[in-house]
Amino acid sequence: MAVVIKTLRSPVFCFAIIISVIIVATKLQFNNSSGPQTTLLEPKRYLSSRMAPAARLGNHIFELAAVLGIARVLNRTATFFIEDDFYREMLENTSEAIPGLVNQFELVNGTVPSPTKTTKLNTRCCIFVDPLILENVNDQYLHLDGLFYQAWKYFPSMRDELSGYLKKSKKNYWLPKPDNDTFVTCAHVRRSDFTSNGFAASESTFVRSALDFIQDKENGEKLKNTIVLFGDDPKFMRNIFNNTSLSDQQDSQILNTTYFVSQNSPSDDLVYAKDVCDVVLISAPHSTFGWWIGYFSKGDKVYYMDIRETNDWVYRVGELNPYDYFMPHWIPLKFASNNSTIVESLK
């Protein structure tokens, strides 16, 4: 008993009691405080990818849309590294067409920070790889070594969002305007490098026959039918139909014309498709720009040349899965056995 009394009277014991009381009082005061409380946040995690900056606009939109979709799946911040002048030009061209998409990225003027390791994903251009295989990667910077990301499954259910990211419409494209009496069918044509690089290029016979098929099937109300051609070969497009008007001609000529060739910029063509195109034909099935014309189109009704019926080398070597590349509600077309009649392909 004497030992206990001696301990209680000890200066060390009394000091310990005082400190304990101060700590408890401080905690109670902090917990009851009405002011903001500071919490420790986990560090931001980033996702970026190698790009193909020398490619065209259609490829660029695929890459950015896919990386944005993957970043969301992995709860990361989509990041774009402006590594050189090619990347800068890619960013500028894409921003001119679809500025809202670029605005979803954190832009960094420089290269990927060292010692960030590169992670392989989507090594084949047009075959989907589930990004969830990377969900357990905890590195702050995840940099992908992907290739083009041409698969809609990277950004499912984002059509309305991506359409909203396009630049604003302008007043006049010198092409048919939307109204209740006109049915506008849009067709994308790709020739140029496709004719020499082993891709399935557009053929005039298919374009004419497919557009006849689409008109009979889609224009049920028999409205005035007009056809607008987009593409990279104006001379070829003008020769598909007789009496074709160019988009730099005046309104008086538009009123009496059925066939039009757009000479507007690619970014304007995308916006026009969004505002006007009731139906779209993609005549060169592996054209990424044609793909986006269809994806953004007002009517969201798209037909395309069945790539399985072509000698497109990307499909033939197993680099493209049609079920990953083409939207599931799009309709493939092909020539029947008589090689003159267009029919729908079985999926």
Does any domain span residue 130? yes
Does any domain span residue 172? no
Confidence at residue 170, expressed as pLDDT on a 0 to 100 scale: 80
- Please say if the pLDDT value at position 30 is more than 60: no
Q: Looking at the chain, how many residues does it have? A: 347
User: Both 134 and 70 in a single domain?
Assistant: yes
Tell me which H or E stretch contains 208.
Answer: helix 204-218
* Chain CA centroid to CA 15, Å: 67
Tell me which H or E stretch contains 342.
Answer: strand 342-344
Confidence of residue 253 (pLDDT cuts 50, 70, 90): low
User: Both 127 and 199 in a single domain?
Assistant: no
User: Both 160 and 195 in a single domain?
Assistant: no
State how many domains the chain has: 2
* Cβ atoms of 256 and 249 closer than 8 Å: no
* Cβ atoms of 187 and 214 closer than 8 Å: no
State the average pLDDT over residues 147-164.
98
Does any domain span residue 11? no
Confidence of residue 38 (pLDDT cuts 50, 70, 90): very low
In whole angstroms, what is the distance from residue 198 CA to residue 314 CA?
8
* Structure tokens, 164: 């909203």
List, as one string, the DSSP characters of 112-150. Answer: PPTTPPEE----STB----GGGGTT---SEEEE------
Indicate the DSSP class of residue 287. -
- Please say if the pLDDT value at position 251 is more than 80: no
Tell me which H or E stretch contains 211.
Answer: helix 204-218
User: Both 191 and 152 in a single domain?
Assistant: no
Does any domain span residue 300? yes
Does any domain span residue 173? no
Q: Which residues of 98-125 are buried (b: 16+ CB within 10 A; e: fewer)?
A: beebbebbeeeeeebeeeeeebebbebb
- Please say if the pLDDT value at position 75 is more than 70: yes
* Cβ atoms of 121 and 131 closer than 8 Å: yes
Final residue in a domain of this structure, among 164, 191, 212: 164
* Structure tokens, 143: 């940099």
Rg for the chain (alpha carbons), in Å?
29
User: Both 194 and 314 in a single domain?
Assistant: yes
User: Both 127 and 266 in a single domain?
Assistant: no
Does any domain span residue 331? yes
Strands (E), 216-330: 224-231, 244-246, 259-261, 279-282, 302-305
- Please say if the pLDDT value at position 53 is more than 60: yes
- Please say if the pLDDT value at position 117 is more than 50: yes
The 10s digit of each residue's pLDDT in 220-243 is 777 889 999 999 999 999 999 998
State the average pLDDT over residues 155-175.
93
CATH number at residue 199: 3.40.50
Confidence of residue 256 (pLDDT cuts 50, 70, 90): confident
Confidence of residue 43 (pLDDT cuts 50, 70, 90): confident
User: Both 232 and 327 in a single domain?
Assistant: yes
User: Both 90 and 193 in a single domain?
Assistant: no
User: Both 127 and 198 in a single domain?
Assistant: no
- Please say if the pLDDT value at position 293 is more than 70: yes
Using DSSP, state whether 85 is helix, strand or coil. helix
Does any domain span residue 222? yes
**Overall pTM > 0.75:** yes
Does any domain span residue 40? no
User: Both 153 and 206 in a single domain?
Assistant: no
Confidence of residue 3 (pLDDT cuts 50, 70, 90): very low
Query: Which domain range does residue 55 map to?
Result: 46-164
User: Both 142 and 238 in a single domain?
Assistant: no
Residue with tokens 């494209």: 173
In whole angstroms, what is the distance from residue 315 CA to residue 303 CA?
18
Final residue in a domain of this structure, among 97, 131, 164: 164
User: Both 104 and 225 in a single domain?
Assistant: no
* Chain CA centroid to CA 254, Å: 32
Confidence at residue 18, expressed as pLDDT on a 0 to 100 scale: 36
Give the rounded percent of residues in the chain with a pLDDT score beyond 90: 73
In whole angstroms, what is the distance from residue 343 CA to residue 335 CA?
6
